[in-house]
Amino acid sequence: MNGKLSAWLLGCLLLIIHGFALAQPFAYITNRNSDTVSVIDTATNTVVATVGVGDYPHAVAVNPAGTRVYVANTNANTVSVIETASNTLVATVGVGATPYGIAVNPTGTHVYVANAGDDNVSVIDAAINNVVATVPVGSFPQGVAINPAGTYVYVTNEFSNSVSVIDTVTNVVVATVGVGSHPYGIAIDPAGTHVYIGNILSNSVSVIDTATNTVVANVPGVNYPYGLAINPVGTRLYVANHQSNTLSVIDTTTNSVLATVPVGTNPYGVAVNPAGTHVYVANTNGNTVSVIDTATNAVVATVPVGSGPVAFGLFIGPSGDPTPITVTFNANGGSGPTPDSKQVTFGAAYGDLATTTRDGYTFNGWFTASTGGSLVTAATTVSTAADHTLYAQWTAFAYPLTTEAIPGAGGTVIRDPNQATYTHGTSVQLTATAYAGYAFIEWSGDLSGATNPVSITVDGPKNITANFGLTHTVTYNGNGNTSGSVPVDGNAYVQGAAVTVLGPGTLEKAGATFQSWNTAADGSGTSYAAGAQFLMPADGMTLYAQWKGNIEPIPTLSEWRLILLMGLLALLGFRAIRQQSDA
């Protein structure tokens, strides 16, 4: 085999081995006397890294994606944040006094820390590594556990002999459950129906029904119980007996001890691997971790670690490659988006995000909520371990609306609402109001027609003009009438408006008959019959009544004969009278 081929095959082999190693779950053991965390590869049960942390590291929790480890440093009043890809410290978060217990919610977004010295719980936002809330609880809180739904946090209060139940939405204690003496370790079954509490001085395990927040069973047979852990199917509870150097195996169906397994000196923290095949126990004064085969309840390996291992909490990460997380994009009124979803990895950057557009709007970016929320960019680290949605947020364009009246003395334009600019899609009502002596004619510019008032939708810059005109009247003149009244047109007309001519009404003229109206008194102008129309001229209009004299009819032949006869008779009569007078 030539050298190049050998090197290539060796490289492939190393990649395969490395990939296999990365796919295995790791156990993170806090060593309180060494101020370190030992990283155990559970595939080989060997320590593969040691990470320096704060003073007296006690509690530990791995996030659901296995990308971050949170360590409560009791004497430093801090939480160390370890990036698991490089096993390096990436952040230190100040919390309350004497932090003892710690847990991460199922989505990996929040970390809950029990501060024994302050009797409270610090809530850390995992995206920004800052405390965002502090919740008062009982006296000297120790163990912390969160239900699978992420809705409730359970905290053991050692000196109050109780368990505080915190609502994760309001960060308020909603119930307090009395348990045994000096409760310490805590575990929740995978269904979230039962919480198990190790009572140190009672040498018992209290079983709480989460539906009623009441103790429904007490399991004896343990000795100074510290750490508790439950297997992935919820059938076995493992309890570290700190003074007897043993591990109790409890059947959760019968709430009885099935087996007792000898381990190292002063066992403390307990965790079960994701497959449920092995239990890991930190032996504080033995400086070791015992590995127990759950099928045989026998120790199959002992792993040397740092000084004073405690590992109080869920210290084993998930198995296999990170579970892909589906991110759905909600365009929130925009187009698309393209693509509508993608898969990301917890702890890694989101990478390229979807594209979307919306007419009349500026795209502000993708956010964790439809309004408000946090901005997510391609470089943002995925801090939510569950499938989730990102929402587009928009800012509507602001457009100017310019209105004017022509002529300015003719009137004004009233707009409702009255603003200098309007966001895209705003409806505005425009009303043209004429001043005295003027009338509204029509709209021009970016609006046409004569509807008044009128509503417009602002979808861009707009310039709108209200056109007004001087008003004129029509005057009717009787032009020599002898009785009656002239008609009156009470309307005001702008230049060019159509005018309908009125009839003569009650006008009369002796010996004459009304004929029409005319623009001139002598009839030399334009004539208009009643009902006709004309366009109003620029200077108004006066219409004069036109009359025609009445003509007597010509007598007929018979009438003429009668007239002549009567005249002749009259003449003969006159002569006769005169002759008599002369005689």
For residue 36, the number of C-alpha atoms closer than 13 Å in the C-beta half-sphere is 14
Residue 560 domain-assigned?
A: no
Same domain? For 337 and 485 the reply is no
Q: How far, in whole angstroms, is CA 579 from its chain's centroid? A: 131
Q: Domain containing 385 — which CATH number?
A: 2.60.40.4270
Q: How far apart are CA 452 and CA 450, in angstroms?
A: 6
Same domain? For 479 and 530 the reply is yes
What is the value of pTM for the model shown? 0.60
Same domain? For 346 and 467 the reply is no
Sequence letter at residue 107: T
Q: How far apart are CA 141 and CA 113, in angstroms?
A: 9
Residue 507 domain-assigned?
A: yes
Same domain? For 454 and 500 the reply is no
Residue 565 domain-assigned?
A: no
On whether the CB atoms of residues 238 and 225 are closer than 8 A, the answer is no
Same domain? For 115 and 230 the reply is yes
Same domain? For 485 and 544 the reply is yes
Last residue of a domain, one of 333, 366, 396: 396
Which residues is 546 bridged to in the sheet? 516
Q: Domain containing 294 — which CATH number?
A: 2.130.10.10
List the Cα angle 488/492/495 in 5-degree steps: 125
Last residue of a domain, one of 419, 436, 471: 471
Q: How far apart are CA 225 and CA 239, in angstroms?
A: 6
Same domain? For 51 and 128 the reply is yes
Same domain? For 234 and 263 the reply is yes
| Sequence-ordered list of residues with C-beta below 8 angstroms from that of 135, at least 6 positions apart, any chain | 120, 121, 123, 166, 171, 172, 173
| Pair of tokens at residue 358 | 């919306």
Instruction: Label each residue of 266-318 as H, E or C.
Output: CEEEEEECCCCCEEEEEECCCCEEEEEECCCCEEEEEEECCCCECCECCCECC
Last residue of a domain, one of 396, 421, 456: 396
DSSP assignment letter at 571: H
DSSP assignment letter at 87: T
Residue 330 domain-assigned?
A: yes
Same domain? For 229 and 133 the reply is yes
| Sequence-ordered list of residues with C-beta below 8 angstroms from that of 393, at least 6 positions apart, any chain | 332, 363, 364, 365, 366, 367, 370, 371
Residue 11 domain-assigned?
A: no
Sign of CA dihedral 175, 181, 184, 188: negative
On whether the CB atoms of residues 60 and 37 are closer than 8 A, the answer is yes
Q: How far apart are CA 305 and CA 48, in angstroms?
A: 11
Count of domains for the chain? 4
Residue 562 domain-assigned?
A: no
Sequence letter at residue 121: V
Residue 2 domain-assigned?
A: no
Domain carrying residue 466: 398-471
Radius of gyration of the chain (CA): 51
Same domain? For 103 and 251 the reply is yes
Residue by residue, pLDDT tens for the chain (583 residues) are 444 434 333 333 333 333 333 446 999 999 999 999 999 999 999 999 999 999 999 999 999 888 899 999 999 999 999 999 899 999 999 999 999 999 999 989 999 999 999 999 999 999 999 999 999 999 999 999 999 999 999 999 999 999 999 999 999 999 999 999 999 999 999 999 999 999 999 999 999 999 999 999 999 999 999 999 999 999 999 999 999 999 999 999 999 999 999 999 999 999 999 989 999 999 999 999 999 999 999 999 999 999 999 999 999 988 655 668 899 999 999 999 999 999 998 768 899 999 999 999 999 999 999 999 889 999 888 877 788 999 999 999 999 999 999 999 999 999 999 998 999 999 999 999 999 999 999 999 999 999 999 999 999 999 999 999 999 999 999 999 999 999 999 998 998 899 999 999 999 999 999 999 999 999 999 999 999 999 999 889 999 999 998 766 666 778 777 878 887 777 777 677 767 766 6
Sequence letter at residue 552: E
On whether the CB atoms of residues 251 and 217 are closer than 8 A, the answer is no
Same domain? For 436 and 543 the reply is no
Same domain? For 139 and 244 the reply is yes
Residue 3 domain-assigned?
A: no
